[in-house]
Amino acid sequence: MLISGGSRGIGLCIARRAARDGANVVICAKTTTPHPTLPGTIGEAVAEVERVGGRGLGCVVDVRDEATIAAAVAEAVAAFGGIDVLINCASAIFPTETENIDVKRLNLMWEVTTRAPLLMAKHCVPYLKASAAAGRHPHIITCSPPVDFLNWPAPNNPNYLVCKMGMTVGTLALGEELRVAGVGANTLWPAGSIATSAINHLMGNNADAIDGYFMTNARTPEIQVRGRGAKRSVLWGVERVRGACAGSVCGVGSVCGVWSVCGVGSVCGVGSVSSVGSVYGA
């Protein structure tokens, strides 16, 4: 399993959950030394993967730089023999009113959020196809919202939403393109807000502000890998789900196990959060 944005937040939660089932997990991220306000480094994420039972590999990747993506994929294949699952979790978030759009930040969101999943897929697809041929039910999962123009996901600022919707449409189109090869591609999105370290960072790591915003409608990143029941988890040990490869639930495989996907292209799981400000040490 190769995860972009795997050193913190949702990406790290997915990595940790997969590792509990003994997965080989490749952490692709930029942070090699501690950030002053954002938790998590590549080395810490790899250590956590191995602590809970998986095998970890850390790769320094800037998803805006295709060369670093290609190098990480090559390193992953050399270490583990192939790639069965690609998780696109890297994202940039700078929502603002249209009249206040900053072009530099808009371009950053597009490069990290919309373009990067396609570049990640570009370099992983040959190995995902090989995985399909071997019967391992490979999959691409992208953390992005459902295409629902009646119930807009939050934040719904145009500068942010156009990038996230592009992320979704690109992934679902990948599913159609790769269907004949047996490679699934779907999106994963929770109900409500997720209290990630990136959001806390945007809010100045102010405990009162974070609690005030999140306490009534937010969940911790762990909700992406935990639902009401075991079979509704994003990743759940050795259950094989077979089905269509795009726009619906698909089998997800790895060299160490097979998991099922929940909430594909729509709501995932239900949970609650308590004391967000204290959880994230604002």
CATH of residue 34's domain is: 3.40.50.720
| 227-244 mean pLDDT | 35
Cβ atoms within 10 Å, residue 257: 22
**Could you list the residue range(s) of the whole structural domain that residue 64 is in?**
2-279
Whole-model pTM: value is 0.75
Confidence of residue 153 (pLDDT cuts 50, 70, 90): confident
| Residue 278 burial (10 A CB sphere; 0-12, 13-18, 19+) | exposed
Indicate whether 124 pLDDT > 70.
yes
| 34-60 mean pLDDT | 90
Active site residue ranges: 160
Indicate whether 279 pLDDT > 80.
no
Residue 261's pLDDT is 32
pLDDT over 70 percentage in the chain: 66
Confidence of residue 30 (pLDDT cuts 50, 70, 90): very high
pLDDT over 90 percentage in the chain: 56
Domain count along the chain: 1
| 14-36 mean pLDDT | 92
Residue 237's pLDDT is 27
Residue 252's pLDDT is 31
| 247-276 mean pLDDT | 30
Indicate whether 221 pLDDT > 60.
no
Confidence of residue 231 (pLDDT cuts 50, 70, 90): very low
Indicate whether 224 pLDDT > 80.
no
| 187-202 mean pLDDT | 66
